[in-house]
Amino acid sequence: MNDEQSFDVSPRDIAILKARVDNPTSSTRELSQILEEEYGISLSHNRINEILRTMSEEETFREMILPNREIFRHYLFRVSFNFPNFEDNWYECYDALQNDPHVLMFFTADSDYQWHIIAQFRTDNRMENWVHDFFVDHGELISQFHNTMLHSVHKFKTEAAVFDNILAETAEGRQYLEHNE
């Protein structure tokens, strides 16, 4: 996706998503009241439930449990490739990272197209064992591997206010924001 493309979601649905993020434990009945009071959106709790289910099925958002950040130690791994071996080995490594329970986030970044991995482990020893096994399984693909322990994760959440910029993109969304003020 580039800057000209966007995931198409209606302003009303963004406001519902924002209310859900801001009130993650509220019932849909409570969300119905919040949406009416804060945005002037009048929907039954059943309709809100349907909309949230549809957005989840369309992968507009994913529901997930985020454990307290103190339970795990977090690490950033950066992987550069041995390009002569890339074509024959990349998919097996990619699939392993996608399905690894320690991998919290996996993405491509920078002009070198390195893979960046944010992983979580209970102890440094478990991380070191994972890295060892990763090299045993995928070493011929890797030319460089950088490991950074994230000593203090100070923030680990999405704020509902991030959706204000999306709402401001349309007249309907701006109306919801103005009602909220």
Tens-place pLDDT, residues 42-52:
999 999 999 99
CA distance 11 to 163: 10
H helical segments located in 63-123 = 86-99
Mean pLDDT value across residues 96-125: 91
**Which residues span the domain enclosing 50?**
11-64
Provide the pLDDT confidence category of residue 111 given band limits of 50, 70 and 90.
Answer: confident
Q: Are residues 112 and 81 in the same domain?
A: yes
| Residue with tokens 């966007």, as numbered in its chain | 6
| Residue with tokens 């801001």, as numbered in its chain | 22
Residue 4 in this model has a pLDDT that exceeds 90: no
- CB under 8 Å to 177, separation ≥6 — which residues? 164, 167, 168
pLDDT of residue 162: 86
CA distance 10 to 136: 47
- Percent of the chain's residues with pLDDT above 70: 94
> Is residue 123 one of the residues assigned to a domain?
yes
pLDDT of residue 15: 93
The DSSP symbol for 58 reads T
Q: Are residues 18 and 52 in the same domain?
A: yes
- pTM metric for this prediction: 0.69
Tens digits of per-residue pLDDT, 54-107?
A: 999 998 887 776 677 778 899 999 999 998 999 999 999 999 999 999 999 999
> Is residue 51 one of the residues assigned to a domain?
yes
Provide the pLDDT confidence category of residue 134 given band limits of 50, 70 and 90.
Answer: very high
**Into how many domains does the chain fold?**
2
CA distance 170 to 11: 7
> Is residue 85 one of the residues assigned to a domain?
yes
> Is residue 173 one of the residues assigned to a domain?
no
Q: How many CB atoms lie within 10 A of CB 141?
A: 21
Q: Which two three-digit tokens encode residue 107?
A: 């993405």
